[in-house]
Amino acid sequence: MAAMTWQRIWSGLVGRLRASAVPEGPADTGWLAIACLAALACVAVPVLWRATRSLVTVVHETGHALVGVACGRRFVGFRVNTDMSGETVTAGRERGLARIATTAAGYPMPALVGAGLVYVGLHGYASLLLLVSWLILAALAVRARSAYTVLTLALLLGAVGALWWAGGDGLNTAVVAGAGVFLVLGGWRGWLAVLRSPDPRQDPGTLAGLTHIPRALWNALFALVMAASSWLLVRLLGAPLGAAAQAVMP
């Protein structure tokens, strides 16, 4: 009996993996509109923002880690705090292009990832994105440096895994697109917070010390990247959201 149960689970897992590699149908505009509105509410409503903002921090810190590893640095660990701050530790030279690229990757990363989620999700690969996201989160969990970080990643792993396993094509696409919108908007909100902060230990201040380029120029560069991501978001979502609006208009 137990063997048959495990066999069914294995067969279901293999079938789900194969299905993830197959392009899905077009997104349901109704679900897509609901997901985008939910993303907007999560960024705009204070109580919802406090409950969800850690996702932006996770992506921010993941950006530091991935770019650091790509540049030859060693990923040691990372931490996410309840106030949306975080810390990623990579080992390597204290100065140089690798350190600069690693430090610069944080603030633009939520917007870049958000636009990428919407683009790939709307092109039929939402389930594959969920699977890849789950694997990245699982790899990050090994390097978590605090109980809150472990809890945050555990919740994300559970939510992403459940959606990948049980969600339908239309729901997966809508949730992935909504998460992308949330990350782009949340990236802007995080950038505005650091823009107002006088703390020299923030990434723009650290970059100014590493490069002698003023922190204002680094902030402008981050804004330029986020603006490009936002433009792509509008291009991708304009038509389906317009169709959803027309469908509910009298």
Write out the chain's pLDDT in tens, 250 residues. Answer: 555 566 676 666 666 667 667 777 777 788 898 999 999 999 999 999 999 999 999 999 999 999 999 999 998 888 888 887 888 888 888 888 989 999 898 899 999 999 999 999 898 888 889 989 999 999 888 888 888 999 999 999 999 988 888 777 678 888 999 999 999 999 999 889 888 877 777 888 889 888 988 989 999 999 999 999 999 999 998 887 777 777 666 6
- pLDDT score for 204: 87
Amino acid at 23: P
Closest CA to 127 of 21, 5, 244: 21
Amino acid at 239: A
Residue 168 per-residue DSSP state:
-
**Under 8 Å CB-to-CB from 34, ≥6 apart: which residues?**
174, 178
Closest CA to 76 of 100, 92, 56: 92
At 89 the three-state DSSP class reads: strand
Residue 188 CA to residue 117 CA, distance in Å, equals 17
8 A C-beta contact, residue 35 and residue 177:
yes
Beta-carbon neighbour count of residue 171 at 10 Å? 16
How would DSSP label each residue in 222-249? HHHHHHHHHHHHHHHHHHHHHHHHHHH-
